[in-house]
Structure 1
Amino acid sequence: MTRKGSPFIFVFFFFAFVLGFYFTFAALQGNYGMFRRVQIDAEIASLTAERDALKAEVGRMANLTRRLSDDFLDLDLLDERAREVLGTVRPDEIVIR
């Protein structure tokens, strides 16, 4: 008992399988697939941490800049920075590195 059109059914199912495999592959590995999404999320987390570290550094530098400004001069900080830049020490100091 053979059916007429059975080769056409085979071809139809073959193309349906290939098309399904293609869409499954694209959903996992494509430009907008799941694996790419995981990579993007990891990159977002990394860049967010880097941004937060840079914000903290900018805050620290803004504080130091304000403390060395004309309006608010911190003499201890000025003395510390001048010694570090010029590499000088007072005769009564002990330097530990």
Structure 2
Amino acid sequence: MTRSSKPSIGSFTFFVVALALGAYFTFAAVQGDFGLFRRVEIQAEAGELRLDLDRLNLEIAAIENLTQRLSDDYLDLDLLDEQARSVLGLLRADEIVIQ
């Protein structure tokens, strides 16, 4: 009994299925919801959100500074004058208004 050198259909099917599964999982690892490309997108978005957080923290610090300067414990007369002019439209007696 001699064995034929022709591969059987079962081994061919096994290799085709293994190749298809390997291709699928490789594609999913690169392009999927949890793949490499999505990870890069998430990291870029996280960087943008960190910049927004830093900007908002600076804005909060500036607002807290203005609030503290207008508090009862500490009154900044220049800031009070500026706020009275912008909000109430007040002028000093020695100023001339040109419209």
The two structures have a TM-score, normalised by structure 2, of 0.85
Q: CA RMSD in A?
A: 2.0
C-alpha spacing 1:2/1:89, structure 2 compared with 1 (3 Å) = farther
Instruction: Please give the residue correspondences for 1:1-97 in structure 2 after superposition, counting only pairs within 5 Å.
Output: 2-3=4-5, 6-90=8-92, 92-93=95-96
Identity of aligned residues (%): 53
Count residues in correspondence: 95
SS at match of 2:25: helix
Aligned structure 1 segments of 4 or more residues deviating by more than 4 angstroms:
none
Instruction: Please tell me the residue identity of whatever aligns with 2:72.
Output: D
Letter in 2 for 1:92: E
Tell me the alpha carbon deviations over residues 69-93 of structure 1, each in whole angstroms, 9 at most, x when there is no partner.
Answer: 0000001101101111123334525
Q: Which runs of 5+ in 2 are unaligned?
A: none
- Structure number with larger C-alpha Rg: 2
CA distance in 2, matches of 1:72, 1:41: 44
Could you tell me the TM-score, scaled by structure 1's length?
0.87
Distance 1:94 1:6 in 2: 99
SS at structure 1 position matched to 2:71:
coil
